[in-house]
Amino acid sequence: MKVYRSTSCVVTILWIFATSSAQGICHHDRGKQNTGFSGEMEGSNNLHCCGNQSYNILRSSCCNGNLTLGLSQLVTYCCGSVPYNPLNEICCSGSIFIRTSAHTKCCGKDPYQTTNHICCGDVLLKKQQKKKCCGKELFDTLTECCCDQDLVLAIKPKSDPCCQTKPVEKSESSQCSQASGAHNNIAENCGSYDPQTHICCSGFLYRKASELTKCCGKHLYTFSEGNVLCCNGILHRDMPEKSECIGGVVYSPGNTTCHLPVRPQIGEHCCGNQTFDPLIHICCNGHRHNKKNGNVCCGSKVYDHHNTSLRCCSDHLYSTPSGEVECCGNHLLEKNQICCSSSTLAVKYFTKLNHHCCGHYYYNKSIWSCCAEHLKPTPERHTPLADYRTKPLMELIPDICKKPVFFGKVESMTLKTSWRHVLLQVVWQVDLKLRNVTKDSWDHVFMDHCSSPVIEKGMIYLWEKEANGSKLLSHPIDQASDIHMFYFLCYQFKDHKNG
């Protein structure tokens, strides 16, 4: 059963403090994660530092400076230097064990089931009704109490005077021996401070010069300073007095170049630091491209969406000679991998026998069951399993272009036996083959509650009309831009195919 053994949790935590400020580009991560990586790289959301290597937490895990590729840090914990999936494994004193149930915990160096046993000071005992731990023994809560006599725990009959004064109620052993990984909850940098005299800017504590002192991102400025402009969290000094911040961009009088962060006030448009002509150029995320190379943006790149060997996964462009490759978040799914996704996160896992996705988690079916993206600690053979996952709208194109689909807003939901009854307001529907617009603006959908993804009231999703009902296809969509993109791309496809 034992998979790996390493040093204790104390060493892990010390290491984190020792390295957190060591690298120039890696600053202290302010406790957003709980899995023992060493820092966050300036300016990039998912890039972090592991020792002196940078890595993406959506794809890899860092434990104790040891980088493991292929398993996202967002779903792992560290056991010494090795990451593990806490749903299906457990870490006891630096060793990883396979979980046998959701009720597996550690007792000293070994895992045990809390359903049958109780752990008293690292000693494993058979569970007994109405009995609790007192040191390394069990006592009967009805007739006895656990007494703390000068730091020595002793079991006494209820009649003993000690039972009236200070009985001890602790039941399980201490935290550190049970800890399943490195829980390093590094406090916010600012800690507690007096807001009258100090100010906290994105985790950096400053003494206030006056009540006009304000934060701009992690920097400090005062309203009374001239030639200073705070725009989109970035502090610009020595600016011409008439400079303005519009839509996160600094506009400055008389500056006719596109040098960021200053753009011209009138005249030409800017795309990043270059001018661009919307008739011949397309601007993707501040990068200028010629429209001849395509007219759909994928992050800062442009691509020709008719080219079936190009795949855009959440703003990352990939070239895939074989074509039929699926996206998982902003990565391509590789062989022997599975993508588990919820509307907030998509995580790749190495495929394992008897495992299944539950939202973005990957669980062992002998331990857990899953209902509507919620894990339950009891395996249930009869729960139907989700056999498809919803995707971002862009990933469904072009497959859905030929299908009868509609955009439906969730107005109301009820549960009836195991069926979720969803009342939809049809926001937009076109059968692209017939170009029909339906008249009825309401639709009723019955979906198996447990095997279906979570949906939110008030949100708009793409649905497919089937003979016997409608099927959910997409993540929640952003109405204005997504509907336009769908229309644009699907008609482009159609026209392209037709001639």
Ligand X SMILES: *[C@@H]1O[C@H](CO)[C@@H](O)[C@H](O)[C@H]1NC(C)=O
- Of 54, 60, 68, 73, the residue at the interface with ligand X (CB under 6 A) is 68
Q: Which stretch binds ligand X (CB under 6 A): 81-89, 143-151, 214-222, 407-415?
A: 81-89
Name the minimum Å distance from CB 86 to ligand X.
Answer: 13
* Token output for 363: 């669980």
- Of 59, 99, 305, 391, the residue at the interface with ligand X (CB under 6 A) is 99
Name the minimum Å distance from CB 392 to ligand X.
Answer: 21
Q: Does 434 participate in binding ligand X (rule CB under 6 A)?
A: yes
Q: Which stretch binds ligand X (CB under 6 A): 25-33, 169-177, 287-295, 307-315?
A: 307-315
Instruction: Report the residue number whose CB is nearest to ligand X.
Output: 81
Q: Does 431 participate in binding ligand X (rule CB under 6 A)?
A: yes
Name the minimum Å distance from CB 227 to ligand X.
Answer: 12
Q: Which is nearer to ligand X, 165 or 366 (CB)?
A: 366
Q: CA-CA distance, 347 to 117, in Å (whole number)?
A: 35
Site for ligand X in 358-397 (CB under 6 A): 364, 366-367
* Token output for 318: 């990939």
370, 99, 120, 157: CA torsion to nearest 10: 40
Q: Which stretch binds ligand X (CB under 6 A): 175-183, 256-264, 395-403, 487-495?
A: 256-264
Q: CA-CA distance, 428 to 180, in Å (whole number)?
A: 49
- Of 1, 187, 279, 353, the residue at the interface with ligand X (CB under 6 A) is 353
- With beta carbons less than 8 A apart as the criterion, state whether 79 and 71 touch: no
- 470: β partners: 465
Q: CA-CA distance, 342 to 86, in Å (whole number)?
A: 18
Q: What is the 3-state secondary structure (H, E, C) of 434-492?
A: CCECCCCCEEEEEEECCCCCCCCCCCEEEEEEECCEEEECECCCCHHHHHHHHHHHHHH
Q: Which is nearer to ligand X, 201 or 410 (CB)?
A: 410
* Token output for 439: 């008249």
Q: Does 254 participate in binding ligand X (rule CB under 6 A)?
A: yes
Instruction: Tokens 């497919």: give the residue.
Output: 464
Radius of gyration of the chain (CA): 29
* Token output for 424: 């939809």
Q: Given the rule CB under 6 A, which residues bind ligand X?
A: 51-52, 66, 68, 81-83, 98-100, 240, 252, 254-255, 257, 259, 262, 273-274, 304, 307, 309-310, 319, 352-354, 364, 366-367, 431, 434, 436, 446, 466-469
